[in-house]
Chains A and B, each alone.
Chain A
Amino acid sequence: MQKQRSILALIFVLIIAAITVIVTIPTRLGLDLQGGSQLTIQVKTTPTIPKIDQGMLEAVRRIVENRVNGLGVSEALVQTVGEDQILVQLPGVNDPQQAERVLGGTAKLEFLEQLPGTETQLAIERQLQQELLVKQEELKISPNEAAIKENQAALKRSNDAIAKLFKSTGLGGENLKDAQPQPLAAGNNWNVALVFDTKGGELFAQLTKNLAGTGRSIGIFLDERMISSPVVGVEFAQAGITGGSAVIQGNFTTQEANDLAVQLRGGALPVPVEIVENRTIGASLGKDSIQSSINAGIGGLVLVLIFMVAYYRLPGVIANIALLIYALLTWAAFVLLGVTLTLPGIAGFVLSIGMAVDANVLIFERTREELRAGKSLYRSVESGFYRAFSSILDGNVTTVIACVALFWLGAGLVKGFAVTLGLGVVVSMFSAITCSRTLLLVVLSFPALRKPQWFCPNLSKTANS
């Protein structure tokens, strides 16, 4: 009895602790429940960088994180997955398009110097490029994929031809201190204003000094594509443009200028990336599904509780108390371990309730058998627990094996399910064996409750109590 009292005390303390944890720490809800975007970014290799190592992946992750911060999403999560992927979770984001555009671009910015004697050639090539771009827009709405591809190839050729007319200056995105969208006085066009760091400022002054008054232009290239080619006025021939700031004029829309500024502030990616997965769920959809799932879960649970009492009588009541304790403890464990609750996670939780019920069912069926075999109530309960144990253990270990396989190999949502089911199974072992057992033995210490028919209906008269 002394032992049971201390276990009872322990259970009581655990319940209080669990309730405190649940009340004080908010449960983390997955994106499928609160709405938001989840993007998987594939980091790609290039001829110069044939293999993505951990250092490279981490570098990309940091840049992606910078860009996410630039988007102003709170509680965003950016993490590396496997060898060459990055997972970005943006809770509550309502413009997934922007997130995708901003995260997917390489944003390699370069300032190049036009080579002497190429003025006419550049004018011709620019003209050609403009025509191709207009054609591209027209083609976009037609379903002719071959024509689109052909045009894209032509664009690339023209761009390469333009790039040949410029030489490197060593000034690029890495020399930026800040980038901001800037409205033009007239029309809807936007520019992007740049502020260079000290070295960048010097390089820019040098570049503009070289070009001032020559009629040759600065080639501003983004991801190896020319976006503007301003000419420097003769008045800067003395010292170049000093002060460390510049403006990219690219006929940008508000949206484009904003995106580019975020990308430039975040830094250029060393390798190209591609968004291979986007799962976005609207906020109200998430709310709907959480509400209906919770309702369904609670409804199911209540049915189970009723069934247990109807079928197992007094032990059923005790099993129900143990089940509720189980639910509280598991929930608290989720919160403490920082498990993000997703829809499959809730399913895993509900299923682990099934496991917890199973353990109790096994024990009570055993107890009934022992009672029918004519054993005393106390002994029947004791051996019910003792004999059911190996079945419970084997059954739970096999479930845990499946969970481990899921956790190891699954991704995202699947992992959440594995964690919640696995954790639930472990806690259910405790609740079924320790809680149910202690509570039952305590109940048995009250003579008024020591009635075999409350444990097993239709017990034959020959059985003694």
Chain B
Amino acid sequence: MKFSVIKQRSLWWSISAAIILAGIVSMAISWTRPDIRAPLRPSLDFIGGTRLQFELDCTKPENCKPIDIAAVREVLDAQGLAGSSIQVIGQEQRGLSLRTKTLDVEQRTNLQTALSEKIGVFAPQSTQIDTVGPTLGKQLFTSGLLALFLSFAGITVYLTFRFQLDYAFFAFVALFHDVLVTLGVFSFLGLVQGVEVDSLFVVALLTIIGFSVNDTVVIYDRVREIIKLNPGQSIDQIVDDAVMQTMGRSINTTFATLLTLFSIFLFGGETLKYFALALIVGFIAGAYSSIFIASTLLAWWRSRTAHSIPVPAEGINQSEEV
């Protein structure tokens, strides 16, 4: 029995539509939440603010004990920073992560001194400070978005040039699919887990685009080749064959890449964790969309418009010579 992607295309399309729809619903819910007010929970990279991370200095005697979150809240309230997010981190509850509005040097020093008095001395070697002004945050956001659109456009133009406009268009649809799926998953994670998206997330989206179009291109390349070899065949058959012939490669490549990504997700540093997760989601979506969406859409479109590529007669001989 031969597996056919074309036959069950409505199933593939429904799966994708359902996932994307769920993502959009999640983004809508996220938008209405007063603490988020955006489709995805933005980190301070995009909206500005200050994040401080401290760890108690355990080399000093009597200094190291679990941090009392109520005491921290008291200090913050006294500093006029009520409403900031406070998190006690680390297995022994010795770390503290604060997220406040943008603080200048003086405000930050005051806060740090007040905290040290109440909680204990912090180790400078494991202190982390991130402050992003609101205007810079906006700037980072727009430049990220612009980079996204620019690469969308660049890839579409390149594919139009290398293949044809309809190939490029459906590759674009597949890319959009991958980005939407990833956005949806992270919107959901933002709702339930408080996961924030930062500028690394934009990087991840761009990488997903670059990678998953790669998958689509390999299948298209095969479609084009089979059309040259068998100009008379139905487009459905051609696409089915192309997908089947490249399936091994698609699975293996995605699998190999996912091996490293999972390793980074599980064992890498905290910073790269969600970056790796975004890539994992995006690459899986990318492999899926290349096999089940970009190809089936192309077949559907071509058979609907009853349009096939004129093939030069010598094309057949050329391929066989190799």
Contacts and interface: CB of A to CB of B under 8 A. Distances in A.
A282 B126 CA distance: 4
B264 A307 contact: no
B245 A96 contact: no
B128 A303 contact: no
B132 A276 contact: yes
Contacts of A402: 151, 154-155, 206-207, 209-210
A289 B144 contact: no
Interface string A366-393: 0001000000000000010011001100
B217 interface: yes
B29 interface: no
A361 B252 contact: yes
Interface in B221-263: 221-222, 225, 245-246, 248-249, 252-253, 255-257, 259-263
B105 A277 contact: no
Contacts of B253: 354, 357-358, 361-362
A414 interface: yes
A284 interface: yes
Interface in B292-322: 322
A152 B231 CA distance: 80
Interface string B207-222: 1011101110110011
Contacts of B261: 300, 350
Contacts, number: 244
Given A300-B261, A401-B158, A414 B151 contact: no
A300 B267 CA distance: 10
B276 interface: yes
A391 B223 CA distance: 12
Contact of A296 (B255, B267, B279): B267
Interface string B255-299: 111011111101111111001100100000000000000000000
A148 to B, nearest CB: 9
B260 A350 contact: yes
A311 B252 CA distance: 9
Contacts of B210: 398-403, 421
A318 to B, nearest CB: 16
Given A289-B270, A296-B264, A296-B268, A397 B158 contact: yes
A81 to B, nearest CB: 11
Contacts of A284: 123, 125-126
A297 interface: yes
Contacts of B275: 344, 347
B128 A280 contact: yes
B279 to A, nearest CB: 7
Given A277-B133, A300-B262, A32 B271 contact: yes
A140 B107 CA distance: 9
Interface stretch (A158-166, A175-183, A404-412): A404-412
Contact of A398 (B135, B148, B213, B263): B213
A35 interface: yes
Contacts of A343: 269, 271-272
A74 B252 CA distance: 47
Nearest to A412: B199
B132 A277 contact: yes
A288 to B, nearest CB: 7
B127 A406 contact: no
A405 B158 CA distance: 14
A409 B143 contact: yes
Contact of A405 (B77, B136, B151): B151
B209 A292 contact: no
A32 B272 CA distance: 12
A406 B206 contact: yes
Interface of B is mostly: helix
Interface stretch (A97-105, A190-198, A328-336): A97-105
Contacts of A53: none
A240 to B, nearest CB: 38
Contacts of A303: 259-260, 263
Contacts of A281: 128
Interface in A246-275: 274-275
Interface residues of A, number: 87
Contact of B105 (A40, A97, A395, A401): A97
A351 B203 CA distance: 12
- Counting chain A CB atoms within 10 Å of each CB, the highest count among B109, B150, B213, B263 belongs to B263
Given A343-B272, A411-B143, A351 B279 contact: yes
A405 B140 contact: no
A134 interface: no
Contact of B259 (A32, A100, A300): A300
A354 B279 CA distance: 12
Interface in B131-152: 131-133, 135-136, 140, 143-144, 146-148, 150-151
B214 A358 contact: yes
B207 A408 contact: no
A345 B199 CA distance: 14
- Counting chain A CB atoms within 10 Å of each CB, the highest count among B245, B263, B269, B279 belongs to B269
B104 to A, nearest CB: 8
B147 A97 contact: no
A413 B200 contact: yes
A218 interface: no
A278 interface: yes
Nearest to B149: A405
A295 B248 CA distance: 29
A279 interface: yes
Contacts of A307: 255-256, 259
A274 B147 contact: no
B256 A354 contact: yes
Given A289-B271, A410-B147, A414-B202, A304 B218 contact: no
A412 to B, nearest CB: 8
A142 B79 CA distance: 6
A383 B320 CA distance: 10
Contacts of A37: 129
A400 B158 CA distance: 11
A296 B125 CA distance: 23
A391 B154 contact: no
Given A344-B200, A413-B200, A300 B263 contact: yes
Nearest to B128: A281
A389 to B, nearest CB: 10
A285 B125 contact: yes
B249 A394 contact: no
23 contacts: A35-B125, A275-B104, A277-B131, A279-B130, A280-B128, A282-B124, A283-B125, A295-B268, A296-B268, A300-B261, A300-B262, A344-B200, A350-B264, A353-B260, A358-B214, A391-B217, A401-B151, A401-B154, A404-B154, A406-B151, A406-B203, A413-B199, A414-B202
Interface of A: 32, 35, 37, 40, 42, 94-97, 100-101, 104, 140-145, 274-285, 288-290, 292-293, 295-297, 299-301, 303-304, 307-308, 311, 343-344, 346-347, 350-351, 353-355, 357-358, 361-362, 365, 369, 383, 386-387, 390-391, 394-406, 408-411, 413-414, 417, 421
Question: Which 5 residue pairs across A and B have the least CB separation, nearest first?
Answer: A300-B260, A143-B80, A289-B269, A395-B214, A276-B133
